[in-house]
Every structure is written in structure tokens, then in C-alpha cells.
Amino acid sequence: MTNQNDPQNGGFYGLGIAPSLLDVIARLKYTTPTPIQHKAIPIAVQGKDVIGIAQTGTGKTLAFTIPMLMRLAATKGKGLILLPTRELALQVDETLQKIGKQAGLRTAVLIGGASMHMQNQAIKKNPHVIVATPGRLNDHLDSKTVMLDKVTVLVLDEADRMLDMGFAPQINRILKHVPKERQTMLFSATMPPEISKMAAQYMAMPVRVEIARAGTAAEKVEQELFVVSKNDKLRLLDKLLQEYHGTVLVFSRTKHGATKICRALKKMNYTSAEIHSNRSLSQRREALDGFKNGKYRVLVATDIAARGIDVIGIELVLNFDLPDQAEDYVHRIGRTGRAGMVGKAISFATPDQGKDVREIEKLVRIQLAITKTPTLPPARAQEAFDSRDHEREQRGFGGRRSSHSSGRSSTTPHPSTTPRPAHQSRSSHVPRHAPRNPNAARFTSTPGERAPKQAPRSGSTSIPGTKPNYDSEYRKDKGAKGGGHKKPGGGRPPRGPRQFFGGMGV
């Protein structure tokens, strides 16, 4: 019988792992260590500081959880794992429970969106390992419900993402509460200068383990690019979902865009869910669990929430919008092709995003294959997708809709603009539309009354009894104010919808 943990067969035997943990690893059917595990575990079990650089989905979690549990058993100390997102924290805690449950391992997960009372109860049970996001851990430090003076092993996972999300001040504050005599392990998919600076400041002669050059995409992920207009994105998404029949992870640049895409997919009869920062913790967990167990075929996510999506067997990752930063592209496509499996990544780029595509190609050091856009199916949800954008385009100042977007005929005046009869006039002194007598005293309003509107200026095209056109009247006056110089068209241009990277209005 072949021993799967024999070093000649590439097993975990010979990496310095304790026999009890080797038995657990075998029961969990982990047979062959990934490259990052094979290189990082032997160094980390010796208590040395480690910087691990590897692509997303290469097994970094086991690379630090196994050495951490061994070191905690030897030093009788505590462990602290910092991660950028709630989902990733829950994923890491799940791995810890699998490995250490039989040994009586106790953990506390401190993340935003969850009950502080329940977290305090977990802290009172004296956990061996605390898994936390920086923001919530700082909340506990402020309320003095947690102490970090016994931490002997510290892990910073997805360090680049934590810095991208602005967690550097919180991390620095946390590290001031952790003893200086400790082991620190830092794992990241990229190595920006900020990571190097943090390592130099808080780590003691770290050993750098780099499986692939920082920013390298997974080898077994086939990458493809479609250059498509914004209005055709949904139709192309529909076409691809008909060709690929497995699970699909769709990335949107914003949470509002993710909601729109998910709504459109449901109208096209695809089972889908969304995961982003506007969703509660229970909603995000339900979406992720449903994606794992097959309830939802398509999961629409943003970059912030995606770091916790550790799902084996995702057939297709689709970038509906290109990311803000090229580094996020590596993390996105790393959701497919995990654990040595093959994967597929498709990106949509609009014709004006050539610069962004070149930045991605420069980072991953490959030229993305541009595929000709196929014949697209008829639009099934474009109207629903664009309706709110169109509505925002039609909104004037103050959030009010213009007459042509309110459902009324453009020739029908709004009730508020209809002239009142004389007996309903706001003022009993001056009729609403009476010509002003230059010799008469100025109107003095009493509480509850408003001054009557003046008659239209000479040369004005406004019709008595209707609102003047905003651009033709108001802007004409404003344009004439300021030295007689007016911009073409009269003052400032009308305010249009804001645009975000990728082309969808928000």
C-alpha cells in the first residue's frame, strides 16, 4: 500500500509536522502539499518569521495554520490572525476547526456585522486563536474586552489587500498591543513597497518564500478578453452563461453595479446572489453558502468581499468591470483554477479602456487574448438594468424628476404650476399675476404667506402659468452674472450622471 505521506510521493511527511497533525491531514484527504506549503511549513515550524508570496488559491491558509498550531502547543501562548474581510475570517476559522477540533482548539472570530455580545462570550472562554478583521479588533481594544499580551504567533493574511483597504493605521495600533517577542508570518499575493516597509518594521529577519513573481496569475487559468460596449455587456454575459454551465463568479467594480447585475440575472432566470459591503453578515453568509451548495449558480461580488470566496470548482470568473487596480485582477482570477485545477477567466473591457488592459498585461506579463464578440442574443434584462441610470439622468437639481421622466405628457403642466383662481391667491393684497405698479409699496409677507411671483421679463419665452425652462431662464441669468461673459449654451453645462470605471452610471 502506498503511503501518501512518503516524501518520495510528495506528501506532508518530512516537513517537520507533528505526527498527530499528520493523521488529521490524512483524514482530511490532503495528500500533496502545494508549493507554498512545501516551502513555508518547514521554515515556520522552526519559529522563524516568514514572508510568503504566492498567487491566490495556492493553499496559503494551511501554510500558516499548521505551523501556528504546532508553535502554540510548544509555547503555550496565543495566536492572532488578521484578515481583510469577514468572509475570509470565517473561512480561516473553518480550516482551524477542521484541524484542531479533536485537540480541543478554541477560537474566537471578531468581525464586523456580528454580535459584540457573542464575541465577548467567546473571548471569555480564553480562546487559543483569535481570528479578526482590524476594525473590529480595534473596537474590542477600545472597550478593553480583549488582551493581546500573550500572543506568541501573529499572522497577517492577504496583507496587500488590508493595506489597499486602508487598514494600515489599525494594524499599526494592534501591533503595539502585541509582544515584540513573537513569531510573525505575512502572506500576500503581491509585494507592494508598503508590505516591505511593514516587514522591515515589525518582523525579525524574515525568510522570504516566493513561489512565483509577485503579481503572477495562476498557471492553469486560461485568460480571455472581450472588447464590448457598455450597452452590450449584459447580452454578452447572457451569451456566456449559456455556453458555460458550471458555477460562475461575476465581478463588479461597485456594490451598486453588483446589485444591478444580480437583478438583471434574476430577470434572465439565472439563480444568482450578490455579496458586497451593503449586505449584512447573514446575507453574505447565505449567499456564499448557497453558491457552495449549488443553490445559486452565479455569484456577483465586489473586490472587497471577494477575498473570502474560497470555493473549489468555480468554472468561470468573469470581470464584468475591469478593476481599479491591476493587482486586483490577479486576486479575481485566482478564484478559479484553485488547488491545481484548471480554470477560465474572461474580462469585459470597453473600447476606451486600452490603458487599463495594458497595465494588467504588464503586471501578469502576458498579452490577453482578445476574442471577437459573438452574435449576441436579444436583450432580456437591459431595460431593467438601465432604468435607474436613465432615471438618474432625468433627475434635476434637488432630486426632482423633469416633466418628461415623470410619466406625464410634456404638454400637460404640473398641478403645482397651474394658475390659482383669484380667490385662492396666496396674497389678498396683490393678485398672483397682476402687473406690478411701480408706485405701489413693496409687498410685505406675513407668517405663512409668500411673495407673489413677478411677471415674466420682457423677451422671455416662458408661458404664464407654467414653470420656466431651467436651462433657458435660470442659467441665462446666471450666465449674464459675472462681467457679461457667458459660456456657450448659457452658464454651466447641465449636470449629467456620474460615471465610474467600466462605464455604468451610479
Summarised one tens digit per residue, pLDDT across range 74-85 is: 888 999 999 998
> According to CATH, what is the number of the domain 221-386?
3.40.50.300
The string over 71-102, giving b where at least 16 C-beta atoms fall within 10 Å of a residue's C-beta and e elsewhere, is bbbeeebbbbbbbbbbbbbbbbbebbebbbee
| pLDDT at 434 exceeding the cut of 90 | no
Which tops the pLDDT comparison, 126 or 402? 126
- With CA atoms as reference, report the closest residue to 84 among 131, 27, 130, 122: 131
**Coil, helix or strand for 210?**
strand
498 CB-near residues (< 8 Å, 6+ apart): 505, 506
> According to CATH, what is the number of the domain 7-210?
3.40.50.300
Cβ 45 vs Cβ 14: under 8 Å: no
Strands 316-319 and 50-53: unpaired
- Amino acid 367 reads Q
Give me the residues paired with residue 284 across strands: none
| pLDDT at 178 exceeding the cut of 90 | yes
| 500/321 Cα distance (integer angstroms) | 10
Q: Report residue 66 as a C-alpha cell.
A: 499548521
81 CB-near residues (< 8 Å, 6+ apart): 64, 68, 89, 92, 129, 130, 131, 132, 154, 155, 157
| 56/333 Cα distance (integer angstroms) | 8
Domain ranges of the chain: 7-210, 221-386
- Same CATH topology for 7-210 and 221-386? yes
Give me the residues paired with residue 272 across strands: 298
Q: Cell 519559529 appears where?
A: 47
Q: 102-120: per-residue pLDDT in tens?
A: 888 999 999 998 899 999 9
pLDDT at 145: 95
Sequence-separated contacts (24+) of 421-429 with Cβ below 8 Å: 425/452, 426/450, 426/452, 427/451, 427/452
pLDDT at 306: 59
- With CA atoms as reference, report the closest residue to 158 among 178, 186, 130: 186
Q: Report residue 4 as a C-alpha cell.
A: 501518501
With residue 183 as reference, give the H or E element that holds it: strand 183-188
Dihedral through CA 318, CA 320, CA 324, CA 327, nearest 10?
A: 10
pLDDT band at 416 (very low <50, low <70, confident <90, very high): very low
Q: 48-74: per-residue pLDDT in tens?
A: 999 998 876 678 899 999 999 999 998
Average pLDDT over residues 257-277: 94
| 83/130 Cα distance (integer angstroms) | 11
Q: Report residue 58 as a C-alpha cell.
A: 495556492
Other CB atoms within 10 Å distance of the CB of residue 280: 10
